[in-house]
């Protein structure tokens, strides 16, 4: 029903950031800044009709620039990790900035999460914020000029739709996601380990001690990564399993089951019994990375001064497999000239009866 723009401060490079608040007829709101296309807050109703902010974020642009953690941001060109910050494409080698133990994480030194995007507003019953960014050839070491458009829409049915589009003038690689951390009890409500989750995924990507894929894909059967039947996030998180100990909790890419449809499908559900809130993840991406905020930066407080605490949040990142460009058996993340990157993820909020 409305979209409002206000100032969100100046970046350290002297660029002005703006904050856009979308509101639907039910009273649900989402606030997004053009700095990184970042979801700053998302207020959804509980079983009593009370609206609470269920997304983690900060009060100022300064915190987003310095705190790390990629809270709420669009991640690109390539989310997750690339081994050695290196890949080969059509016989040519490319070297990227290594910002994670000799590897490249979430786009490199200054990824999409730290860019000011060009924003345009579409008001109406289902307000949208359209964000566009042109990533020049060889930015962060990636080939091709990539034109990216991300459209956030707050629907009349209390869903946040995120539509990712991209085109290139030279063959390149791209794997976009959103890195919002959620706690359906409210971002200041404590642990997320009592939330339950269902994920339609039958295998996971095995990683080494630095969370870099080994190339092996394993069945989730008999592992802590099996969410094919709903269970609490805390149920298996402390099991003596090497693959879960590497990340000090859940930090794993799960491969979704069956055929991947062009139309978004219901693939996962997060539920908080105390508030009654549930969030369905509807996507046409082939995988989901779940991360239970195992390493928080206690130096920087969240909105209202709430401290960063491990396992008080979960990021649910729809995407293709990490380090896919260096593993030919993984999902393809190349984008050719004339092709179009076109994926949608919908976070559908509701109350479980």
Q: Which residues participate in catalysis according to the annotation?
A: 179, 317
Dihedral sign for Cα 203, 206, 210, 215, please: negative
Q: In this structure, are residues 206 and 254 in contact, taking their beta carbons and an 8 Å threshold?
A: no
State the Cα–Cα distance between residues 293 and 302, nearest whole angstrom: 14
Of 151, 16, 141, the C-alpha closest to 87 is 141
Beta-ladder partners of 153: 128, 161
State the Cα–Cα distance between residues 324 and 327, nearest whole angstrom: 5
Measured CA distances, 271 to 83, 199, 231, 341 (Å): 34, 12, 10, 31
Tell me the pairing of strands 118-122 and 128-135.
Answer: antiparallel
Residue appearing with tokens 């509980």: 46
State the Cα–Cα distance between residues 97 and 85, nearest whole angstrom: 6
Peptide bond into 313 cis (omega under 30): no
State the Cα–Cα distance between residues 19 and 267, nearest whole angstrom: 30
Beta-ladder partners of 231: 197
Number of Cβ within a 10 Å radius of residue 226: 17
State the Cα–Cα distance between residues 337 and 270, nearest whole angstrom: 37
Tell me the pairing of strands 314-319 and 287-291.
Answer: antiparallel
Give me the long-range contacts of 326-329 (CB less than 8 A, separation at least 24): 326/82, 326/83, 326/86, 326/87, 327/213, 327/215, 329/215, 329/217
């Amino acid at each position: 029903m409305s979209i409002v723009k206000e100032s969100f401060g100046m970046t350290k490079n002297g660029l002005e950031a703006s904050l856009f608040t979308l509101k639907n007829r039910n009273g649900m709101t989402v606030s997004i800044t053009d700095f990184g296309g970042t979801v700053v807050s998302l207020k959804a109703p509980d079983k009593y009709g009370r609206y609470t902010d269920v997304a983690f974020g900060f009060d100022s642009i300064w915190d987003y620039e310095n705190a790390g953690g990629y809270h709420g941001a669009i991640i690109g060109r390539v989310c997750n990790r690339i081994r050695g910050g290196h890949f080969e494409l059509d016989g040519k080698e490319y070297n990227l900035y290594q910002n994670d133990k000799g590897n490249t994480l979430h786009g490199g030194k200054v990824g999409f999460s730290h860019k000011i995007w060009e924003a345009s507003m579409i008001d109406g019953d289902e307000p949208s914020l359209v964000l566009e960014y042109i990533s020049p050839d060889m930015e962060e070491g990636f080939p091709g000029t990539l034109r990216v458009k991300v459209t956030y829409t707050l629907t009349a049915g209390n869903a946040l739709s995120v539509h990712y589009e991209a085109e290139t003038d030279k063959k390149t690689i791209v794997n976009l996601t959103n890195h919002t951390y959620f706690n359906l009890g409210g971002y200041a409500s404590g642990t997320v380990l009592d939330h339950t989750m269902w994920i339609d995924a039958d295998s996971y990507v095995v990683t080494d001690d630095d969370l870099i894929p080994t190339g092996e894909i394993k069945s989730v059967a008999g592992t802590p990564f099996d969410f094919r039947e709903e269970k609490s996030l805390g149920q298996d998180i402390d099991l003596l399993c090497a693959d879960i100990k590497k990340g000090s909790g859940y930090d794993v890419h799960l491969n979704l089951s069956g055929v991947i449809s062009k139309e978004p499908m219901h693939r996962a559900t997060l539920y908080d019994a105390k508030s009654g809130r549930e969030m369905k993840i509807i996507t046409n991406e082939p995988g989901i990375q779940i991360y239970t905020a195992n390493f928080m930066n206690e130096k920087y407080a969240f909105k209202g001064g709430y401290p960063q605490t491990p396992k008080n949040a979960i990021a649910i990142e729809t995407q293709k497999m990490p380090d896919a460009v260096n593993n030919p058996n993984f999902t393809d993340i190349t984008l050719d000239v004339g092709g179009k990157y076109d994926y949608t993820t919908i976070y559908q909020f509701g109350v479980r009866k």
